A and B are shown apart, each in its own frame.
Chain A
Amino acid sequence: MTEQSARRFVSAKRRPKEDGRFITGAGHFVADINRPGMLHVALVTSPHPAARITTIDTSEAAALPGVVEILTGNVLAGEANPLANAVDTPGVKCYPLAVGVARYAGEWVAAVIAETRALAEDAAELVEVDYEPLDHVINAEEALEPTSPPVHAGHGSNILYRRTFTWGPVAEDFAGQPHELSFKLRWGRSAPVPVETFGVVAEWDTGTEILDVWASIQMPSYAEQIAGALRIPVNQVRAHYDVDVGGSYGVKRGIKHTVLAGFLARRLGRPIRLIEDRLENMVGGDMHGPDRHFNVAVAFDDDGLIRSMKLRVIEDVGGQTGRAPFQLGKPVSAIVGAYQINSVEYEAIAVSTNKTGQAAVRGFGMSPTNVAIETAVDKVATRLGLSRLEVRRRNFIRADQFPYLIPSGSEYDSGDYHTVFKMARDLAQFDVLLARRDAARREGKIAGIGIATCLEPGGGNSAFEPLLNPKNETTTWPESCVVKVDRTGGITATIATSTSGQGHETLAATIIGEELGIDPNDIRVVHSDTLSGMPGNTPVASRMAIMLGGAAAGAAKKIRDQAILIGAHNLGRTTDQVRYANGVVSAVDDPSQSLSLARIALISHREFHNMPPELTEPGMQAIHVLQVPKGGTLPTADGRVQMYPCYSFAAHIVYAEIDRLTGKVTLPDYCIAHDCGTVINPDIVRGMVIGGAAHGIGAALYEEFSYEPGGQLLSGTFVDYVMPSSHEIPDIKLAEHCTPSPLTSHGQKGVGEGGYLGAPAAVASAINDALSPFNIECLTLPMRASLLSDLLADQLAETES
């Protein structure tokens, strides 16, 4: 690790490499790809939440000029394998198109392929599908009942996963405490909803017999899953990672889309473009996020020290399975939040309903769980008449306790929660804020202060996969980087992932530049495809600063070592007698004796006679494949495992006012203090934290995929699904602290999810503080204006009667 003071590029304000192409309209998104002879897909979707498909009459549609093919689920299923399930549910079989039964309103039933998208839509209207409606279930708690209509009849029940983990002496801890409290909490279904929908272009090359795929993806094991479903070898799928992704935040998975497009590309021998329109995206894109029912109980002493917690979570995964149940797994990595809770019982239940399928969402299930934990802490404070700040301070893991092992088996690497918490308090001028709140209340306003903290586990590893599916023995999610120095000394790095706004090119270039003393602007970063690429697991789980950063550092160090070997040999010195700095190898005793990296590279590529004998391969390139720090072990029988290596921390303090008449919430002040270890690029980190918090404000107050009892989605457009605009998001203020991780190349930790992990809890805390003088609480997210107003009105009516 380079010392902080000696760093030239890491942590310095530098313009991100990627931005240049986006501000000029020169990005390359999937919708910008135009292959010769490309055909377009539109989808016929089920109007019913549950129905048997009796007949599909495509004759009229097929007769329309420009229509090339109409594909139904039965044909597809005859030649393809079901999509992979995350948990062990062999009775659940999902295909890109419904086969025999439709399981949610909006599910794809047939695909129409035509010369233009408009023609495909014209024809899709003419496909006649006869349905026999079946009983459906929309409420997850009802879906648990054995009598509820089965979403996947082959599975036997709607419960896809259910396990109670007990970590530590929960019963004894509850029995031994003078206080306990419990509550229910509801996290409504929302999603990141990137402004770019999911899209894929697939092309089968009959000469090479390779399926080329360009897609808007952020998906581990993407090529493997496509190949598996299409029954072709993985090395016949070439997914191109040089496609700019217009936002993902977890959801750009697109397996069913790509399987369908790939299947059609092979079948028709022409490139296939399947770009969701916004309606397809919202209703049938299988990208909805967590939809949870929590039961929470905590046991605590007179001082507010929380000894034990019981958490029951029902996750409503909808009508497709995919990776959704795994989102119950990641919260295990920080199940006690920032607190010294001795024991935890965690009951995790994933249940099918007749709603749209789920995808991974930023934080992979942790943001809802953090609302549960932080609400419990607030309630402990309220019960004991203590300040919410004080209760947190008493329960925080202390800086001198790291590394700190939590009951579920993960060790937190480092942190200083008290210091960061104090920074948040100072940034928010908490005493001033209190006075402001109280003054507002005296004026008759409904005002509250929200306080929340969150842990952001980073460096994403696979540990939740074996934890939730014992047949899955994955214990690593490596990440790789290749650094090449061409014969002129030019440096090119290859990364094995697409990027969706996180700045991976900047990350790799900054770290390689730091290690080699070369201006990152002079380092080119390119994206591989899956056949030319290296082991990797894509930018999920706040992992790239840690994993790609580490891989880039490792590869750069190998290049530096090569340069030193060649330089020393050609300067007539031993490697101890030379030093490498800023792209030059020079003799320690006579710095005028030096060789530039360009000269060394030329030797390496072209002058084998000048190579040191220990280097037997010409050319200058290095690959580094990074194993996840502290990864590599399977869970214990009782479900303990080191989940992720690095733990970032943030504290949010927010001031909220609720309009008494309308229930409208405003957030005049929003402060975050955070610690993600060493910052690689300050502007990127700032954007991640603020953008994540904005996303969390949306989930807390505005956004929901609402269903009516008949199973229809009520918020399937951008009019009804309310993503916050610039008026709804305040000017969020930040303070930063740095506790370097001991596990990473430069002390960096993850930062892509923390804003989203903290904000919903903080906003919920503020709302409930505001409501507290009325003796009411709101434990349902999103806390829409109408919901808050209705709660206040009901309370008023009760008081009067």
Chain B
Amino acid sequence: MTHAISVTINGVTRQAVVEPRQTLVDFLRDQLALTGTHVGCEHGVCGACSVLLDGEPIRSCLMFAVQADGHAITTVEGLREDDGTLGILQDSFWETHALQCGYCTPGMLIAGQDLLARNPDPSDEEIREAIAGNLCRCTGYVQIVDAIRLAGARMRQSPEGSGAENGDD
């Protein structure tokens, strides 16, 4: 039995029909062709499939698409600024070369984006905690920590203060 769902993806509401067993990540990739979100383990360990669900990071391999009905999802494709330029965190990843093969990168960006929204001035330990659920085989994490630290500093300096207004209360 299939289900009709309505999900807001990166600000755009999409209608679709899904089989219950289709995971959210398979739905994003196979039905919506949003292939930026990656499948790494399909059992909830590697974090490559991380997306924001109503603004909070989750693993999209551990949720069925049918469960996302009525919710809002942000994927890596939605991280650019409204004017199409790179987001501050994306740009910081490039600046520090916080990636190699690029496979874990979308999940890392989602984790970093969430952290900086909650905590604009994280310590390195807080950064490591925020990305501990995302495995990276290439980098050894050091340049990823550098990138998130750099993005935090840039966000705090920018007049927009992107992501920085939601302080940790």
Direct contact of A and B (CB under 8 A): yes
A interface residues (Cβ-Cβ under 8 A, vs B)? 15-16, 18-27, 29, 31-32, 34, 118, 192-196, 244-249, 277-278, 500-503, 683-684, 686-688, 690-695, 717-719, 723, 725-727, 729, 731-732, 755
**What residues of chain A lie closer than 8 Å to B73, measured between beta carbons?**
none
**What residues of chain B lie closer than 8 Å to A118, measured between beta carbons?**
19, 21-22
Could you tell me if B35 and A694 are in contact, using CB atoms closer than 8 angstroms? Answer: no
- CB closest chain-A residue, reference B78: A25
Could you tell me if B142 and A729 are in contact, using CB atoms closer than 8 angstroms? Answer: yes
A729 and B101 alpha carbons, distance in the complex (Å): 19
**What residues of chain B lie closer than 8 Å to A196, measured between beta carbons?**
38, 40, 101, 103
7 example contacts (A-B, Cβ-Cβ < 8 A) are as follows A22-B105, A23-B90, A25-B106, A27-B102, A687-B97, A725-B132, A726-B127
A719 and B43 alpha carbons, distance in the complex (Å): 9
Could you tell me if B93 and A719 are in contact, using CB atoms closer than 8 angstroms? Answer: no
Could you tell me if B94 and A15 are in contact, using CB atoms closer than 8 angstroms? Answer: yes
Residue B77 at the A interface, CB < 8 A?
yes
Residue B60 at the A interface, CB < 8 A?
no
A22 and B101 alpha carbons, distance in the complex (Å): 8
Which of B48, B76, B94, B124 has the largest count of A CB atoms less than 10 A from its CB?
B94
Residue B70 at the A interface, CB < 8 A?
no
Residue B53 at the A interface, CB < 8 A?
no
Residue B54 at the A interface, CB < 8 A?
no
- A247-B137, A687-B139 known; A31-B35 Cβ under 8 A: yes
Residue B100 at the A interface, CB < 8 A?
yes
Contact among A684, A690, A717 with B45 in the assembled complex (CB-CB below 8 Å): A717
- Min Cβ gap B64→A in Å is 12
- A23-B93, A726-B132 known; A718-B140 Cβ under 8 A: no
**What residues of chain A lie closer than 8 Å to B48, measured between beta carbons?**
195
Could you tell me if A501 and B138 are in contact, using CB atoms closer than 8 angstroms? Answer: yes
Could you tell me if B102 and A246 are in contact, using CB atoms closer than 8 angstroms? Answer: yes
- CB closest chain-B residue, reference A19: B94
- CB closest chain-B residue, reference A698: B137
**What residues of chain B lie closer than 8 Å to A686, measured between beta carbons?**
97, 143
Interface size grouping (class) on chain B: 35 or more
A502 and B102 alpha carbons, distance in the complex (Å): 11
List 3 tightest A-B contacts by C-beta distance, closest first. A25-B36, A22-B102, A694-B140
**What residues of chain B lie closer than 8 Å to A731, measured between beta carbons?**
124, 142, 145
Could you tell me if B75 and A246 are in contact, using CB atoms closer than 8 angstroms? Answer: no
B interface residues (Cβ-Cβ under 8 A, vs A)? 19, 21-22, 29-30, 33-43, 45-46, 48, 75-77, 79-80, 86, 90-91, 93-97, 99-106, 109, 124, 127-129, 131-145
- Min Cβ gap A42→B in Å is 13
Given A503-B100, A726-B132: 15 more A-B contacts, CB < 8 Å: A19-B94, A23-B91, A23-B94, A194-B137, A246-B101, A501-B138, A684-B100, A687-B140, A690-B142, A695-B140, A717-B41, A718-B46, A723-B137, A725-B131, A727-B129
Could you tell me if A729 and B100 are in contact, using CB atoms closer than 8 angstroms? Answer: no
Could you tell me if A683 and B97 are in contact, using CB atoms closer than 8 angstroms? Answer: yes
Could you tell me if B93 and A726 are in contact, using CB atoms closer than 8 angstroms? Answer: no
- Min Cβ gap A10→B in Å is 16
- A695-B137, A726-B141, A729-B141 known; A24-B80 Cβ under 8 A: yes
Contact among B21, B90, B135, B143 with A24 in the assembled complex (CB-CB below 8 Å): B90
Could you tell me if A195 and B136 are in contact, using CB atoms closer than 8 angstroms? Answer: yes
Could you tell me if B133 and A725 are in contact, using CB atoms closer than 8 angstroms? Answer: yes
A21 and B76 alpha carbons, distance in the complex (Å): 11
Contact among B91, B93, B135 with A723 in the assembled complex (CB-CB below 8 Å): B135
Contact among B35, B91, B145 with A726 in the assembled complex (CB-CB below 8 Å): B145
- CB closest chain-B residue, reference A500: B101
A503 and B138 alpha carbons, distance in the complex (Å): 12
